[in-house]
Structure 1
Amino acid sequence: MSRTTPPRPVDVTAVFPQLAPRARPATRLHPRPGSPTPHDSSVGGPLLWPAGEPWPHCEESHNEANDLYEAYGVYASQDHEWRDGPNPLVPVAQLYVHDVPVLRPPGQADLLQVLWCPFEHEPDYKPPTSLFWRSSAEVTEILATPPGPFAVEYEEYIPRPCMIMPEQITEYPNLMDLDKELQQRLGDWNNWQVAGAAVDSSWAPYPDSYYGRELSVAPGWKVGGWPRWGLTDPIALFCTACEARMVPLLTIASCEWDISNTGWVPYEDRHLITLEDPNAANPCMVQVSRSNRLQLYICPQSPDHPHASLIQ
């Protein structure tokens, strides 16, 4: 089943034409529990990994975390046998270009694979990620039994296998990515009224929040588009190889929607809004750094250059 985001209640570029050049395409992934195969785009599913290619591991020590857990009489995970040494990475996402055309793979690649270590590493306490671009046609024999991690800090870093239901949308910058003059215009209710925008008058005291919550950046897992900010002001990231300004690649979210702001919930999922099931808005059962988002960035000049990540 596909997923369809309701149209935005207002065409914001008709009210503020200055935003039109800032529009960016994004792909909402809409991961939902399923049984993906290595030939599917997925979250937490099996990867199309070549049988002859070594599985990636985290080489950092996890002993400090183990000591902490032992001090409290528990282990990082009851489902994984702890031992010292490199920790096999966990599949996070596999995305084929035919499902997510906003991807810009290098060369003949048509597939992006994202893995991470299920630990929050210092100094910024987020799971370190690895990206792999590959050509699916070149994978003639698939690794049948990938190694699983033997150390897991939080089970929420083991995504539930999900199929994705990609949907192409258009996003506009987060309010903090706009210049002060435009921020002031968005925050003036008179500008919305003069333009004839059919905005609920309950937003009159804070129209800039209306823009931020309903018209700019979609929640949930997505590729491309604009980043959300909140934990920090906007941060410009530059490629360590060529100094180009990096662009958003993948947003790994702790929830698909916020119960206090359901305007982005797809038509097909609106019956889930009133459920008391805490997993209704988190089908992948992933929690990133206290229910935040992990944003991955790549170099626009070459996706092969080192990527970067931020928690927001």
Structure 2
Amino acid sequence: MLDIGGLAKRFGTRTALQDVTFSVRPGEVFGFVGSNGAGKTTTMRIVLGVLSADSGEVRWKGSAIDADVRRRIGYMPEERGLYPKMRVGEQLAYLARLHAVSAADAAAAVARWTERLGVAERVGDEVQKLSLGNQQRVQLCAALVHDPEILVLDEPFSGLDPSAVEVMSRVLRDKADEGVPVVFSSHQLDLVERLCDRVGIIADGRMVAVGTVAELRSGGGGVHGADHRPVVARLDVVGPPAGWADTVAGVRVVAAEGTHTRVELDGATDQDVLKAAVAAGPVHEFTPYRPPLTELYKDVVSR
């Protein structure tokens, strides 16, 4: 297990991280989300040893991460770290060799990952001649070419078209299925919700929630004394004419458009709502409203 415990970091008078704590289990895809400047990249750089923490520690399999373990981490920085005038294949082989991969194994890995990520026909091209999307694919190849035990990816889906997003998503899921802990940051919350086993939300350098999307919906996942207030139960009702719920006791109308009404329960039960809706007209749909991660994120951060 990759454990991040109590990380704190200051840059002059600015507190970048304050007691950041979470873990990523083997075989788990962990989405690390937050606004720009929230502390995601700083946390990742501490895991990689690019920055040192003022306090706290990073552990892998129960032991503090050292230089030897860091050589077995696959890292993809948000800012592309490739040599622009070096050819793709030569660069990937060189990076694999830096991780003590033999020349033969490095060549095989380059062939395998460039084919898997759709850039095999560009191995003889200079990186600077690739599109931004293909540079992103090569950057992921660089993170994978030495068969890492841990994957840490900073905005890996930035600049990718939908087909490339699907390819990269499948690669990350497959690596997790092999037992590799995968942590990545992204502003694409719909993708995080679809791909990740758990999500960590960071705001102003503090972890404000960690858990599955289902746990966040139920109000779980709060950390460090955060407000554990559950998300208020909401229902979508389709069918009865507009205005049917306005006078129902213990119900507040959140949104209404035509015959689609979203209500929030404030003392009433779902059966009370169903009874009132049926009395007002035919009910074609009656379902719990499950807020997307985008809405949960806004709610958690605002609290």
Give the TM interval when normalised to the shorter protein: under 0.3
Higher RCO (C-alpha 8 Å, min separation 6): 1
Which structure dedicates a bigger proportion of its chain to helix?
Answer: 2
Q: TM-score, normalised by structure 1?
A: 0.24
Q: TM-score, normalised by structure 2?
A: 0.24
